[in-house]
Amino acid sequence: MKRRPALLTALSLPVLFLGACRNDAVVTSHEERLQKPVGCISLFILPQDEKLASQMQKLYPFRPGCNTTLTLSYRNNIVCNSNQNAARKTLSEFPCNFLRLELRQQMKPIYDYYIDLDHPADTDDIETAFETMRDDLGL
C-alpha cells in the first residue's frame, strides 16, 4: 500500500473545497439529436419579461411556431430554508438566483445551460449563456 505525502493531502483539500464553490455553468448537450439545418427557433421566457425578450431578439431572430424551442427560465431572490446548506449560507455567498436555457427540437432535449448566480440574472448573463449555446451547437 502506497501512502501519499501528508503535505500533498493537506494542500489538496483546500483546492477541492475552493473548486466546489465555483459558480460555473453546467452544460448538457445532445448535439447528435439536433436536426440541421435549424430553420427557425421559437422563444419562451419563464416568467415573461419584455426586457429579456427584447434582448434575446437582438441575439437571434426568434419566430413563434417553430419545431425548435428555446426556453429561458430564471429566478431571482430564491430563499432556501434547508438546514443542509446552513453553514454554506452563513460562511459564503450562497447563490439565490439562477438562469437556465433549454433547447428542444420536436420535444427532444438538445441542449441545457444552467448557472447559479449571486446576483439577479441580467442581459450580460443571458448573452453569455446564449453565445455559449450558439458556439457549442454551431447555430
Mean pLDDT of 77-89: 52
Q: What is the model's pLDDT at position 7?
A: 42
Q: Which of 50, 63, 42 is nearest to 107 (CA)?
A: 42
Residue 81 confidence (pLDDT): 52
Domain count along the chain: 1
Report DSSP state, residue 95. Answer: -
- For 67-80, the DSSP string reads SEEEEEEEE-S---
User: What number of CA atoms fall less than 13 Å from residue 94's CA on the CB side?
Assistant: 15
At residue 54, does pLDDT exceed 70?
yes
For 111-128, write each residue's pLDDT tens digit: 999 988 887 788 888 899
Q: Considering the entire predicted model, what is its pTM?
A: 0.69
- Spatial separation of the C-alpha atoms in residues 54 and 35, rounded to whole Å: 27
36 part of a folded domain: yes
User: Mean of the pLDDT values across residues 52-81?
Assistant: 83
More reliable by pLDDT, 7 or 81: 81
> What pLDDT score was predicted for residue 28?
85
Nearest in space to 104 (alpha carbons), one of 71, 58, 82, 76: 71
Inside any domain, residue 117: yes
Q: What percentage of the chain has pLDDT greater than the value 90?
A: 29
Query: Average model confidence (pLDDT) for the chain?
Result: 75
120 in a structural domain: yes
Q: pLDDT tier at 37 (50, 70, 90 boundaries)?
A: confident
Q: Is the pLDDT of residue 82 over 60?
A: no
In a domain, 1, yes or no: no
Domain that holds residue 47: 23-137
Tell me if 68 is assigned to some domain. yes
Query: What cell was used for 114?
Result: 444552467
What cell does 37 get?
Answer: 439545418
